[in-house]
């Protein structure tokens, strides 16, 4: 494939003009009298927003049985999976044989197969809000209906116990990772990727054509994202995933001519870094803002976190089935520990979510918002020195809510009808409380327990600015497994 031709196509598309978006000029700071106490508190206390995006788990899959009744460990409750839930094998026989959601029991539970979570399987599972099409859509037996608990996901439950959890937070697109990652940074996504499936991967050759990949580059270059709002601002930002090389290399496609199959592609087609598909990202104004994810540890340790951070795990730590969830839980603990022991801790809010449902069952029908049919619920955990322990919120939000929070906090304007109007995810905070001291979470899964034991490490305290993660989290990208959807 002639990469010069692809570069030319992308540049022509870029010059052709942007797709429709809602342009909002650089916003000035809102008048104090128009803000709620909660909004004022966020503006006064938070200078750094860290957004960690994990992979492919619905809310019920991790928290469907979390804090359903009040207790010492659950000052607030979530309805979770309703008692008596039984999902039909066949949507045409709603009163026929059905499957009850069930608890995973092995502590190191790991699926052996990849559950379908494309546009087709998402729409069929959703079934126009009936939430009863999972068995037929997934074709994965009982796996989609299994869920974790405090034994199999102790670190996630500990984070929720010690900080805040939203049980009404939705992914944005009934499709896989790439369009949802676009919504995370742009409030919109190139249309070709939503229905046509994964681009640039030999795993699903039936969905791949060179024409689709070319169309994607053109649409991606015409899609405004938050980097466009940040261009002329003084806001510091870093996308912690991998460094960018040249655009020609990024859009390169290698073919097996004999079989007419795509065998490999450059990073422009990466499903977790959508802005890598934009030619502008490789210019001097932007390329410096894309860093290897291990740099996050040193930036946190040095007290040099940017105002805005996106932190993307390597594939083996991403929580993407069939990767072992214990690896994702301990990696996430290392990121939380890095933030908590950073000199920037007292001015940081950390948001953690999962980018799509991954094929797992959820019982809540997603709403629509300004004409956009939202997708399945995913967990959202909110961590800061001012977060109330055990807070659970039912306030509706979705991926554009965190995007809107970033735009609103730093007066960037907004991009589309979705992020311009998204509800701000400012909940679980107590701005009157003294900043909470850090509490470390175990990065050795065998030491993790729920309820959380703050003395799991015998009370060892790590001085501010000295946290070093386990060595197995420091070899990205050389040890990275291939990105998957």
Q: Is 418 exposed, middle or buried (0-12, 13-18, 19+ CB in 10 A)?
A: buried
Quote the CA–CA distance of 409 and 423 in Å, as a whole number.
13
pLDDT of residue 32: 53
Quote the CA–CA distance of 178 and 352 in Å, as a whole number.
18
Contacts of 310 (CB under 8 A, 6+ apart): 51, 53, 184, 185, 238, 239, 240, 241
The residue ranking higher by pLDDT, 210 or 236, is: 236
The residue ranking higher by pLDDT, 263 or 181, is: 181
pLDDT of residue 199: 56
- Predicted confidence (pLDDT) at residue 8 exceeds the cutoff of 60: no
What does the pLDDT look like over 67-100, one tens digit per residue?
999 999 999 999 999 999 999 999 999 899 999 9
Quote the CA–CA distance of 77 and 186 in Å, as a whole number.
33
Most confident of 415-419, 434-438, 439-443: 415-419
Quote the CA–CA distance of 281 and 251 in Å, as a whole number.
13
Task: Tell me the residue ranges of DSSP E strands in 5-149.
Answer: 48-54, 87-88, 98-99, 102-103, 146-147
- Reading phi first (left if > 0) and then psi (alpha if -120 to 50, else beta), residue 46 is in beta
Distances (CA, A) of 185 to 275, 369, 404: 8, 18, 10
Average pLDDT for the chain? 87
pLDDT of residue 17: 34
Distances (CA, A) of 458 to 23, 155, 443, 464: 53, 17, 14, 18
Other CB atoms closer than 10 Å to residue 170's CB: what's the count? 24
- Predicted confidence (pLDDT) at residue 257 exceeds the cutoff of 80: no
What does the pLDDT look like over 380-433, one tens digit per residue?
999 999 999 999 999 999 999 999 999 999 999 999 999 999 999 999 999 999
Quote the CA–CA distance of 379 and 360 in Å, as a whole number.
13
Residue by residue, DSSP assigns 2-19 as -HHHHHHHHHHHHHT-PP
- Predicted confidence (pLDDT) at residue 11 exceeds the cutoff of 50: no
- Predicted confidence (pLDDT) at residue 108 exceeds the cutoff of 60: no
Other CB atoms closer than 10 Å to residue 331's CB: what's the count? 25
- Predicted confidence (pLDDT) at residue 201 exceeds the cutoff of 50: no
Q: What homologous superfamily is domain 3-473 in, according to CATH?
A: Alkaline Phosphatase, subunit A (3.40.720.10)
The residue ranking higher by pLDDT, 49 or 114, is: 49
**Would you say 310 and 239 are in contact if contact means Cβ atoms under 8 Å apart?**
yes
Kindly indicate the confidence band of residue 365, based on its pLDDT and cuts at 50, 70 and 90: very high
The per-residue b/e assignment along 133-142, b for 16 or more CB within 10 angstroms, e otherwise, is bbbbbbebee
Q: Tell me the two tokens of residue 153.
A: 């996901």
- Predicted confidence (pLDDT) at residue 13 exceeds the cutoff of 60: no
């Amino acid at each position: 494939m002639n990469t010069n031709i692809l570069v030319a196509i992308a540049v022509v598309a870029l010059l052709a003009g942007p797709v429709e978006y809602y342009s909002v000029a650089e916003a000035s700071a809102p008048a104090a009298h128009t803000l709620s106490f909660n909004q004022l508190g966020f503006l006064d206390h938070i200078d750094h927003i860290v957004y960690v995006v994990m992979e492919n788990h619905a809310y019920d899959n991790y928290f469907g049985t979390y804090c359903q009744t009040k207790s010492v460990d659950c000052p607030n409750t979530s309805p979770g999976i309703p008692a008596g839930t039984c999902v039909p094998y066949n949507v045409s026989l709603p009163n026929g044989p059905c499957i009850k959601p069930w608890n995973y029991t092995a502590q190191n539970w790991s699926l052996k197969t990849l559950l379908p979570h494309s546009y087709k399987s998402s729409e069929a599972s959703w079934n126009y809000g009936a939430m009863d099409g999972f068995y037929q859509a997934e074709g994965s037996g009982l796996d989609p209906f299994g869920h974790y608990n405090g034994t199999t996901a102790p670190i996630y439950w500990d984070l929720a116990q010690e900080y805040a959890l939203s049980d009404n937070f939705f992914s944005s697109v009934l499709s896989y990772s790439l369009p949802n990652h676009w919504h995370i940074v742009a409030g919109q996504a190139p249309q070709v990727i939503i229905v046509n499936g994964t681009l640039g991967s030999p795993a699903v050759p039936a969905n791949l054509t060179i024409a689709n990949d070319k169309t994607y580059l053109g649409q991606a270059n015409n899609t405004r994202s938050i980097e466009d709002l940040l261009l002329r601002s003084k806001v510091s930002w870093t996308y912690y995933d991998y460094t960018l090389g040249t655009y020609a290399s990024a859009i390169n496609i290698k073919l097996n001519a004999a079989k007419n199959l795509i065998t490999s592609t450059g990073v422009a087609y990466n499903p977790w870094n959508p802005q890598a598909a934009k030619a502008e990202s490789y210019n001097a104004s932007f390329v410096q803002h894309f860093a290897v994810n291990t740099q996050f540890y040193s930036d946190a340790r040095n007290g040099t976190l940017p105002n805005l951070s996106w932190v993307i795990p390597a594939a083996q730590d991403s929580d993407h089935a069939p990767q072992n969830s214990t690896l994702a839980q301990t990696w996430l603990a290392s990121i939380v520990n890095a933030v908590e022991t950073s000199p920037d801790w007292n001015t940081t809010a950390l948001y953690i979510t999962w980018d799509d449902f991954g094929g797992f069952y959820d019982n809540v029908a997603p709403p629509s918002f300004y004409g956009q049919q939202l997708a399945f619920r995913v967990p959202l955990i909110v961590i800061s020195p001012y977060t109330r322990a055990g807070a659970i919120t039912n306030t509706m939000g979705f991926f554009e809510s965190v995007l809107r929070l970033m735009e609103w906090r730093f007066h960037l304007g907004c991009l589309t009808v979705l992020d311009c109007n998204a509800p701000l995810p400012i909940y679980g905070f107590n701005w009157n409380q003294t900043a909470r001291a850090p509490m470390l979470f175990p990065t050795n899964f065998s030491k993790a327990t729920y309820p959380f034991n703050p003395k799991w490490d015998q009370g060892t305290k790590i001085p501010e600015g000295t946290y070093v993660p386990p060595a197995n989290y420091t070899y990205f990208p050389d040890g990275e497994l291939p990105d998957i959807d």
